[in-house]
Amino acid sequence: MKKYITLAFLAAMLTGGNAFAAIKVVTTTQDLESITNEIGGDKVTVDSLARGYQDPHFVEPKPTFILKLHAAELLIAVGRELEIGWLPPLVNQARNTRIAPNGDRYLDASLTAKILEIPSGQITRAMGDVHPAGNPHYWLGPDNGRRIAQAIQKKLSEISPSDAAYFAQRYADFDRRLAEAEKRWQAAMAPYKGVKVVTYHRSWPNFTDAFGLNVIGYVEPKPGIPPSPSHTLELIQEMKRQNVKIIIIEPYFDSKTPNSIARETGAQVIVLAPSVGGVKEVTDYFKLFDYDVNLVVNAIKQTGAK
Amino acid sequence: MERFQALIHSNAPFRLEVIVIVLSTFARRGVACAGVAASCLLARPAFAQAPQQPAPSTQQADPQQIRQELDRLRQEFEAIRDSYGARLTALEAKLGTSAPAQVAPAQPAAVPAQPPADAPAVAQPPAAAPEPAVTPTPQEPTTPLPAYNPATSKVFNPDMAVIGNFLGAVGKNDVVSTPALRLDEAEATFQAIVDPYARADFFMSFSPEGVDVEEGFLTLTSLPGGLLAKVGKMKEQFGKVNTMHPHSLSWTDKPLVMTNLLGGDEGMADSGISLSRLIINPLFFLEATGEVFAGSAGPFAAHDRGDVSWLGRLRGYRDLTEGTNLDVGTSFAYGHNELGPSFRTRLVGVDATFRYRPLQRAIYKRFLARTELIWSDREQPPVSGGDQASFGYYASADYQFARRWFSGVRFDSSDRAEDSTLRDKAVSGVVTFWPSEFSQVRGQLRHTRYAGGVTANELLFQFLFSIGAHGAHTF
């Protein structure tokens, strides 16, 4: 009896697996996970390695990630050296060459995106943790969400040509909803074009660019270098001079220095979600901007920032 | 022969090749042709008089043909010149327009205009080249380069880095005396993908003792059956510390058990073949590794080609919560020791690591506790005390208490492999400061009680610094 149940169970597992045959996608961040879900629908299963409230530069290369990558049929990475400290050793041990860079099941989502802050001329590490290939936080511009989605649609259609129409239809739907949402976000931010802000890390150029905020300084003296007293004093003076009232930080940074800067300058510290999953409410790519735009607008209203 | 000369004359650019061919042809035919070869060697003066030299059948009928040929060549040349000219102008135009667009200023507000959102723009390939001599290469926008290849001219160069390990010591140690100050090691790493099937990693160690290939191996990444193979010289997968490079340790030194039982400071690194496989199961990460080595590293010595050493390792890992995990392993190694072909050494090791790193505060806080226990079974002749069963271990804890600050303690205890009645013990306290990801300063207070009652109190310090490619973080 037991044997039959086991057999039946096995058979169900096997046929079930075949019937679904969802493409197993692994993404490095939850933003890519969300967009992949938008495009792939029920033809994919998506798993993200990093969580949205984690600093994506410093993810621990845990062996459990090796297992996920081993089984992955597609790896989608942010690229631009965001994951350079942790993804390469994982991919090297995954025993899955197709998902290695230049493999046919690897997608660098940045290749078709609009990348800002590509350094020109000589760069050295005296400039801090610079990204020679440009700012990797590009998903924070909604227009790049569309570009990422299109790249994913193309890749998924390549993997499963029979579902190409399905992916195309889902992309068109995502595109339409994103265009509507963008109108909403732009309308909310329209009165505040040119408002001056300070951010902790250089995570937000695509966001501030999309919504017309003016970043006049950073809490970090240089990318990846923690705040120093002298830089903090300079920043406070500059903020006072320019009357800056908003400090944007990521949930994974210590808020001590930003808070003391805020006390000195009468500014408000807002912890934006840098990624899907950055805070509990932000469960998809649309809610990411809903949440952030809402926080920024409220803070500007409260502080009367200009 | 005339045919060859005609060839030589009519087809000047190819004459040298023809001479070579002619020579080799005649060489095969033997001595009779020596004269011919000699005349061919004189092809140069012959070429000078080419127009006058009557080359029978072909040349007489040919002026017409030659003229036609010339015309054709001229046309071809002009076509090529035109097309290159056009391409050059196009490139110049492209450079002219893209140059301002490529300058991405620090101010995000002044970011270059890009195509509208509905027409995804192809990202501008990275223009940054660490070498100023390399001009930003004009890129074909349709084939963007992967992000980590900044300059096309260096695309196939391996990733290179140099890590300096500077050590200092204060205090007295009569047993193991290290210099007051020394650049203990400059490690140069070269890493790249070999071909679609493999990658290669080289770690060259430059130290006061000389230059050594610390590791240099090929990794076959595309084997079937979930296998991963490594071939070359590599650190043997015995436990944790033995597999690590000095710069990724949490201390300035190695635990006593490593030096006592695993064969000195170098540890076990040998030429061999390593094969590992994931054992997929729903409960945890499990990896099995089997290795065979030439047999002359660490505690082993090969007296014969057949005296290879063997190693097996099983590693399990499991996430306990999102921020905590447990990593356990057991290793076994077997080989001959330096006393002779009939004396063998067996090693058994058990290691366990517990990690805590809260995801949201990952850059500020982490804790790691680790222990390795090693048993050594060494065959010796009765004159040198007979077989020795030695045991040693270390237990350590590291705690990151601020973004750039780490502290740690370590307890050491180990018998000596050659004489298990001699036991060395030590305790250390460590503080590490990270100015950035690429450099660190470390101080370590170490109290050692060597077998026989000799003690040593030392302050060891270390500067570690890395230039070049961004290495992966250790785990």
Which of A60, A85, A119 is opposite residue B128, by nearest beta carbon?
A: A119
Of A231, A235, A195, residue with least CA distance to A215: A195
Residues 155-214 of A with CB under 8 A from B: 175, 204-206, 208-209, 214
Q: Which stretches within B178-331 are classed as H helix?
A: 256-261
Q: Which of A57, A114, A199, A271 to mutate to test the interface with B (most CBs of B within 10 A)?
A: A114
Query: Alpha-carbon distance B146 to B125, whole Å?
Result: 8
The answer, yes or no, to whether ipTM is higher than 0.85 is yes
Which of A61, A111, A132 is opposite residue B475, by nearest beta carbon?
A: A61
Residue B62: the pLDDT is 62
Q: B386-420 pLDDT, tens per residue?
A: 999 999 999 999 999 999 999 999 999 999 999 99
B264 pLDDT more than 70: yes
A228 to chain B: which residues are within 8 Å by CB? none
First to last CA, chain A: 75
Q: Which residues of chain A have pLDDT under 70?
A: 1-20
Cross-chain Cβ contact A89/B475 below 8 Å: yes
Count of C-beta atoms within a 10 Å radius of residue A298:
12
Count of C-beta atoms within a 10 Å radius of residue B338:
14
Which residue in B has a C-alpha nearest to residue A226's C-alpha?
Answer: B403
* Contact between B240 and B223 (Cβ < 8 Å): no
**Cβ–Cβ contact B316 with A under 8 A:** no
Residue B53: the pLDDT is 45
Band (pLDDT 50/70/90 cuts) for residue B2 is very low
Residue A130: the pLDDT is 86
Band (pLDDT 50/70/90 cuts) for residue B470 is confident
Query: Alpha-carbon distance B348 to B310, whole Å?
Result: 12
Residue B113: the pLDDT is 39
- Give me the percent of chain B exceeding a pLDDT of 70: 70
* Contact between A285 and A175 (Cβ < 8 Å): no
* Contact between A279 and A251 (Cβ < 8 Å): yes
Residue A67: the pLDDT is 95
Band (pLDDT 50/70/90 cuts) for residue B34 is very low
B216 or B222, which is more confident: B216
Residue B222: the pLDDT is 85
Residue B93: the pLDDT is 55
B104 pLDDT more than 80: no
How would you classify the pairing of strands A196-199 and A246-249? parallel
Adjacency order of strands within the sheet including A268-271: A214-218, A196-199, A246-249, A268-271
Residue B74: the pLDDT is 76
Residue B111: the pLDDT is 37
**Cβ–Cβ contact A229 with B under 8 A:** no
Name the burial class of residue B318, with classes exposed (0-12), middle (13-18) and buried (19+) by CB atoms within 10 angstroms of its CB: middle
Q: What integer is the mean pLDDT of B24-28?
A: 44
Q: Which two tokens stand for residue A251?
A: 């949930």
Long-range contacts of B418-424 (CB under 8 A, 24+ apart): B418/B378, B418/B380, B418/B384, B418/B385, B418/B388, B419/B385, B419/B388, B420/B388, B420/B389, B420/B390, B420/B391, B421/B451, B422/B451, B422/B452, B423/B451, B424/B256, B424/B260, B424/B448, B424/B449, B424/B450, B424/B451
- The residues near A106 (Cβ < 8 Å, ≥ 6 apart) are A74, A75, A77, A98, A99, A100
Band (pLDDT 50/70/90 cuts) for residue B142 is very low
Cross-chain Cβ contact A92/B437 below 8 Å: no
pTM for this entry: 0.78
